[in-house]
Amino acid sequence: MITKIDHIGIAVHSLEAATAYYENALGLSCHGTEEVASQQVRTAFFEAGEVHIELLEPTSNESPIAKFLEKKGEGIHHIAFGTDDIAGQLDKAKGQDVRLIHEVPFEGAADKLVAFLHPKSTYGVLTEFCMPKGEN
């Protein structure tokens, strides 16, 4: 079951510059940065009520975020739904002929298992499922 919108992922060229905006102009505070080697990104998390903002900066030109920035520029990259059953959500989507980017969840930022659905199947929104590790 999907339980909430967990976070919104935003692609940026510079984590430092974008962090300054979120902290100074919006008054949110950064509650952690992390490098996710598997995705070749550095992330910074902010809390806005129940929903988190995840800033994503590429650490290499091969990073999916680098490719996104090249094609589309900075902006909203994905929406992440929190779920209590990530495998079940993937099965459900697959059963409806939704194209999965990841058939098997992998370790994302913030100690979560994550998997993505292809934006071609989701009306243009790169869609992430995420679940705290150890929940399933």
Does position 110 interact with Zn ion (CB under 5 A)? The reply is no
> Among residues 24 and 54, whose Cβ is nearest to Zn ion?
54
Position 9 contacts Zn ion (CB under 5 A): yes
42: three-class secondary structure by DSSP:
strand
- Of the listed pieces 19-27, 28-36, 80-88, 89-97, which binds Zn ion according to CB under 5 A? 80-88
* Spatial distance between the Cα atoms of 107 and 98, rounded to a whole number of angstroms: 22
Q: Does 105 help bind Zn ion (rule: CB under 5 A)? A: no
CB atoms within 10 A of CB 16: 11
Pick 9 or 58: Cβ nearer Zn ion = 9
CA 4 to each of CA 41, 47, 69, 88, 97: distance values in angstroms, whole numbers, following the listed order: 24, 14, 27, 16, 23
Site stretch for Zn ion (CB under 5 A), options 15-23, 34-42, 53-61, 95-103: 53-61
DSSP 105: -
Nearer to Zn ion, 9 or 82 (CB): 9
Cβ closer to Zn ion: 79 or 87? 79
8 A C-beta contact, residue 27 and residue 53: no
Restricting to residues 11-40, name those near Zn ion by CB under 5 A. Answer: none
Q: Are 70 and 13 in contact (CB under 8 A)?
A: no
Given 11, 44, 53, 80, the residue binding Zn ion (CB under 5 A): 80
Q: Which residues bind Zn ion (CB under 5 A)?
A: 9, 54, 80, 128
